[in-house]
């Protein structure tokens, strides 16, 4: 059974490496494959692998139909449909998933075919929105699009995994009206909506955590608390995971067995274990329903169902067979769950536990067994956590030893009980939730203390190849006592610990313009020294590109220290991510036009004429001058720090958001120095910049536009594009290319590397 499940898994996963989907007619190969399996049973593993591939292919075509056509992006569309997620409020906006039943163009009333599931934002004066309501809305949509940078979160992949095929927003102009309230005929929506409303009214302090545990809604969790959970290795506890579903269904199982055995007549009719198994399955389904049957919860429900079905059928299945059967069921239900780190972490964690206890005598001490399991899990999951997140928690065994039983045995049952009682009696329900809140305060106090330790987490970027020897090393280390050559396991694990991300040579320069949407963030590496120019925008109190894009990229590159951080000027799209960077990485020097608002122990201004040298690379600020700074404001485009970088193999000019007046000053002051190979286009390609005189003086070989996909300003301006093309420049844009990297070396000269959107292209990624 294990071999079959593993072969099917490999087949499913193999489709996910395709840049584009194979043609649908390949699915006709399924029938002959089945016939081969019948005739040549020895080929069953190869056949299972191919079945996995074609099963995923069929699902992909089913999931992708219908898609949002490119000509429908950005135009007004009238839709009727249902809110299918609990709306998440952020300031004066709400975000929710919407199931479209009917759609037509606002301009002419023609019907259009849209994706079945979309994600919408509603800004401004948003009316009260509830899960399950039917609405008529005027919306504008765009295809799934996210930042394209290594190390960061792949939003497009996440949307694909969630079945969301377009995103957009509700237009304030138009008839937006509620057609129907949440119907009791849809009990899943009705119960979730009622629970959410009652929890919001309860005014319990830990409402964000309680909603995560009961409803699977984690949108209200603060970034600070997520950081505590991540760096202590306990973030799995704040989701409706297999552990919680298993604990709840297990609790129901033992209660039903206990009660059923009290009645002899019932026991003669049907065995207590079989009744309890059915009750446990219903409990797992009910808990999954509370969480809206989200993808991770479905996976947990399937795993629990397989276990209790084996009990109900009185089949004495081995643990490995149960795990394999659960894996097959999950892959058949949702093959693209393989895209989620949670899928791999959950199944691998169970496999590690089963492997580590196989062939061992049980110890008398339960505490010793628990400690050993936590240590084994931390070691066994180390390769995956480093590959997925470029970090691992060093205090995870201690944290989970306390947190797992505390949350699963105490917090979850009491929280669930209180939430359900809340529907019947507000006072009693709040009383239970206050107990849960008190337990959570102890939980947070313990984790915060661990998180504050200097060695709590270990950030380490590892090459992908180290995963192979690490897996074999872990298998050897976890073998029973007395197994020969255990030292070889340590040797096989050593590359995972000591191998680092590839580094550049001392005199090589690498300039990377990150994809941060409508904004700018640049990383310059010279040997082991690092400069960051601008930090990208801040979108909300909980999300900025400093810690969402820049920090993950730096850690992907194996960088743990920034030598110089330059904020060109104070506009949000350039300085919004500053605090996110300062909170997560040490910075040697912070430089900007004005620094009154910034807090750092080494603050300096970017004065024209300041020069420094890193190896063979010369850096010089060309602007602003003392005279211009006295006239400019901090947030003004024309106060931007202009930086010139000179390498023996070429030069680069970073201009921030300067406009025509500053370009004219630069032409008057630095006529000879402006001739540049790579130009970061001033002001994202706005027509207020990039005059013909400036372009002629700079005469760039390459021009980089740092813009957002379908940005509201229309950058880069068509007139600007024409002017650069007139002078023969090669144009690249982060909106269409993703992250853009240039390398300069004495040996190879100036090189433009392929855009990251092209490098990482998978079939679920939108194409420009």
Strands (E), 422-567: 457-459, 509-513, 522-526, 529-533, 538-540, 543-544, 561-567
* Residue 466 DSSP label: G
Nearest-angstrom CA–CA distance, 23 and 27: 8
pLDDT-derived band at 631 (thresholds 50, 70, 90) equals low
CA–CA distance, 5 with 299 (Å, rounded to integer): 15
Model confidence at 551, in pLDDT bands (50, 70, 90)? very high
Q: Answer whether residue 43 shows pLDDT above 80.
A: no
Q: What is the pLDDT of residues 118-177, one digit of tens each?
A: 999 999 889 999 999 999 999 999 999 999 999 999 999 999 999 999 999 999 887 899
d(CA 339, CA 56): 12
Query: Residue 630: its pLDDT value, please?
Result: 60
Residue 451 has pLDDT above 70, yes or no: yes
431 vs 223 pLDDT, higher one: 431
- Of 34-43, 186-195, 423-432, 574-583, which range is least confident? 34-43
Q: Which residue has the tokens 């309680």?
A: 210
Residue 595: exposure state from Cβ atoms within 10 A (0-12, 13-18, ≥19):
middle
Mean pLDDT of the chain, nearest integer: 88
Q: Is the pLDDT of residue 505 over 90?
A: no
Crossing angle of the two packed helices 426-451 and 223-231, in degrees rounded to 10? 60
Q: Taking Cα atoms as reference points, which of 661, 638, 492, 475 lies closest to residue 571? A: 638
Q: Determine what percent of the chain is predicted with pLDDT higher than 90.
A: 50
What would the pLDDT profile of 233-281 be if each residue is shown by its tens digit?
Answer: 888 887 766 678 888 888 899 998 888 888 878 787 888 888 999 999 9
365-383: string of b/e by CB count within 10 Å (b at 16+)?
Answer: eeeeeeebbbebbbbbbbb
Burial class (CB in 10 A: 0-12, 13-18, 19+), 541: exposed
Among 646, 317, 398, 690, smallest CA distance to 509 is for 646
Q: How many angstroms separate the CA atoms of 350 and 342, rounded?
A: 12
In which band, very low, low, confident or very high, does the pLDDT at 634 lie, cut at 50, 70 and 90? very low
Q: Residue 648: its pLDDT value, please?
A: 94
pLDDT bracket for residue 473 (50, 70, 90): confident
Q: For residues 184 and 148, which has the higher predicted lDDT (pLDDT)?
A: 148
Instruction: Inform me whether the pLDDT recorded for 203 exceeds 90.
Output: no
Q: Given this model, what pLDDT does residue 615 score?
A: 92
Among 70-84, 293-307, 447-461, where is mean pLDDT lowest? 293-307
b vs e for 717-744, b when ≥16 Cβ sit within 10 Å of the residue's Cβ? beebbebbeeeebebbbbbbbbbbbbbb
Q: What CA dihedral angle connects 88, 90, 93 and 97, to 10 degrees?
A: -20
* Strand 538-540, strand 134-142: pairing: unpaired
CB-based burial, 154-193: b 16+ in 10 Å, e otherwise: bebbbbbbbebbbbbbbbeeeebeeeeebeeeeeebbbbb
Question: Strands 93-105 and 538-540, how do they pair?
Answer: unpaired
Which one, of 637, 609, 603, 604, lies nearest residue 623 by Cα? 609
- Which residues make Cβ contacts (< 8 Å) with residue 178, sequence separation at least 6? 127, 133, 134, 135
Place of tokens 């074999």: 472
Structure tokens at 536: 């990208």
- SS3 assignment, position 546: helix
DSSP 671-712: TTTT--SEEE-GGGG-TTS--HHHHHHH--SEEEE---TT-T
Summarised one tens digit per residue, pLDDT across range 652-697 is 999 999 999 999 999 988 877 889 999 999 999 999 999 999 999 9
Least confidently predicted of 204-208, 479-483, 724-728: 479-483
What pLDDT, on a 0 to 100 scale, did the predictor assign at position 629? 59
CA distance 514 to 551: 11
Q: Are 393 and 229 in contact (CB under 8 A)?
A: no
Give the pLDDT band (50/70/90) at residue 515. very high
Q: Give the per-residue pLDDT at 361.
A: 52
610 pLDDT more than 90: yes
Residue 729 reports pLDDT greater than 70: yes
Q: Give the DSSP letter of residue 524.
A: E
- Cβ–Cβ under 8 Å, residues 34 and 54: no
CA atoms within 13 A on the CB side of 63: 21
CB distance 3 to 45 below 8 Å: yes
In sequence order, which residues have a C-beta less than 8 Å from that of residue 161 and are 6 or more positions away?
295, 336, 337, 339, 340
Instruction: Kindly list the structural domains of the chain, giving each domain's residue range(s) and its CATH number in brackets, ordered by start.
Output: 2-64 (no CATH), 70-182 (2.40.50.140), 366-392+462-500 (no CATH), 509-759 (3.60.15.10)
Residue pointed to by tokens 């299972």: 48
CA-closest candidate to residue 241, choices 160, 164, 132, 349: 349
Average pLDDT over residues 189-202: 91
Which among 251, 108, 138, 131 has a CA at the least distance from the CA of 192? 131
Contact between 622 and 642 (Cβ < 8 Å): yes
Is 606 exposed, middle or buried (CB count within 10 Å of its CB: 0-12, 13-18, 19+)?
Answer: buried
């Amino acid at each position: 059974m294990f071999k079959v499940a593993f072969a099917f898994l490999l087949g499913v996963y193999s489709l996910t490496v395709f840049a584009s989907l194979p043609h649908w007619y390949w699915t006709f190969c399924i029938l002959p494959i089945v016939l081969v399996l019948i005739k040549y049973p020895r080929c069953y593993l190869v056949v299972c692998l191919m079945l996995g591939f074609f099963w995923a292919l069929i699902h992909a075509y089913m999931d992708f139909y219908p898609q949002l056509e490119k000509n429908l992006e950005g135009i007004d569309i009238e839709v009727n449909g249902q809110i299918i997620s609990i709306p998440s409020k952020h300031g004066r906006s709400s975000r929710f998933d919407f199931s479209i039943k009917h759609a037509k163009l606002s301009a002419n009333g023609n019907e259009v075919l849209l994706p079945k599931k979309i994600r919408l934002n509603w800004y401004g004066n948003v009316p009260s929105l509830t899960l399950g309501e039917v609405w008529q809305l005027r919306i504008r949509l765009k295809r799934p699009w996210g930042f394209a940078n290594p190390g960061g979160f792949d939003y497009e992949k996440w949307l694909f995994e969630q079945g969301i095929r377009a995103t957009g927003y509700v237009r304030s102009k138009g008839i937006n009206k509620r057609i129907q309230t949440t119907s009791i005929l849809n009990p899943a929506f009705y119960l979730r909506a009622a629970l959410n409303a009652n929890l919001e009214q309860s005014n319990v302090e830990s409402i964000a955590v309680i909603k995560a545990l009961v409803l699977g809604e984690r949108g209200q969790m603060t970034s600070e608390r997520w950081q505590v959970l991540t760096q202590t290795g306990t973030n799995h506890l704040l989701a409706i995971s297999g552990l919680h579903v298993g604990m709840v269904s297990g609790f129901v199982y033992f209660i039903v067995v206990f009660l059923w055995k009290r009645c002899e007549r019932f026991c003669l009719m049907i065995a207590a274990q079989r009744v309890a198994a059915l009750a446990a399955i219903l409990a797992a389904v009910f808990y999954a329903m509370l969480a809206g049957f989200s993808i991770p919860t479905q996976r947990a429900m399937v795993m629990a169902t397989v276990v209790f079905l084996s009990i109900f059928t009185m089949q004495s299945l081995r643990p490995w067979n149960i795990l394999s059967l659960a894996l097959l069921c999950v892959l058949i239900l949702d093959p693209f769950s393989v895209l989620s780190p949670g899928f791999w972490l959950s199944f691998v964690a169970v496999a590690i536990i089963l492997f580590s206890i196989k062939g061992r005598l049980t110890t008398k001490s339960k505490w010793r067994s628990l400690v050993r399991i936590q240590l084994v899990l931390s070691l066994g999951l180390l390769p995956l956590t480093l590959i997925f997140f470029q970090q691992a928690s060093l205090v995870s065994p201690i944290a989970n030893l306390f947190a797992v039983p505390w949350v699963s045995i105490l917090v979850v049952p009491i929280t669930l009980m209180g939430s359900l009682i809340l529907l019947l009696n507000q006072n009693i329900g709040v009383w239970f939730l206050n107990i849960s809140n008190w337990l959570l305060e102890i939980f947070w106090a313990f984790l915060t203390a661990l998180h504050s330790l200097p060695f709590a987490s270990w950030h380490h970027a590892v090459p992908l190849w180290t995963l192979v020897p690490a897996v074999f090393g872990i298998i050897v280390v976890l073998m029973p006592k007395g197994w020969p050559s255990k030292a070889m396991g340590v040797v096989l694990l050593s590359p995972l610990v000591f191998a680092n991300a590839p580094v550049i040579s001392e005199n090589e320069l690498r300039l990377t313009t990150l994809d941060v949407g409508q904004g700018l963030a640049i990383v310059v590496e010279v040997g082991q020294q690092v400069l960051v120019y601008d930090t990208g925008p801040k979108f909300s109190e909980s999300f900025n590109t400093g810690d969402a894009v820049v920090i993950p990229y730096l850690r992907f590159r194996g960088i743990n220290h920034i030598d110089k951080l330059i904020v060109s000027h104070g506009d949000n799209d350039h300085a919004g991510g500053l605090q996110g960077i300062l909170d997560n990485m040490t910075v040697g020097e912070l430089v900007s036009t004005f620094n009154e608002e910034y807090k750092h122990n080494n603050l300096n201004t970017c004065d024209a004429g300041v020069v420094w040298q890193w190896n063979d690379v010369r850096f010089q600020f060309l602007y602003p001058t003392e005279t211009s700074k006295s006239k400019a404001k901090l947030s003004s485009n024309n106060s931007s720090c202009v930086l010139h970088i000179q390498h023996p193999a070429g030069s680069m000019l970073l201009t921030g958001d300067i406009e025509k007046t500053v370009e004219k000053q630069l032409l008057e002051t630095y006529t000879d120095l402006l001739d540049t190979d790579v130009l970061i286009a001033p002001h994202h390609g706005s027509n207020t910049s990039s005059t013909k005189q400036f372009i002629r003086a700079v005469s760039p070989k390459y021009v980089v536009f740092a813009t957002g996909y379908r940005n509201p300003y229309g950058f880069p301006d068509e007139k600007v594009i024409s002017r650069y093309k007139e002078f023969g420049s090669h144009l690249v844009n982060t909106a269409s290319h993703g992250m853009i990297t240039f390398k300069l070396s004495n040996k190879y000269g100036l090189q433009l590397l392929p855009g990251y959107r092209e490098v990482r292209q998978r079939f679920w990624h939108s194409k420009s």
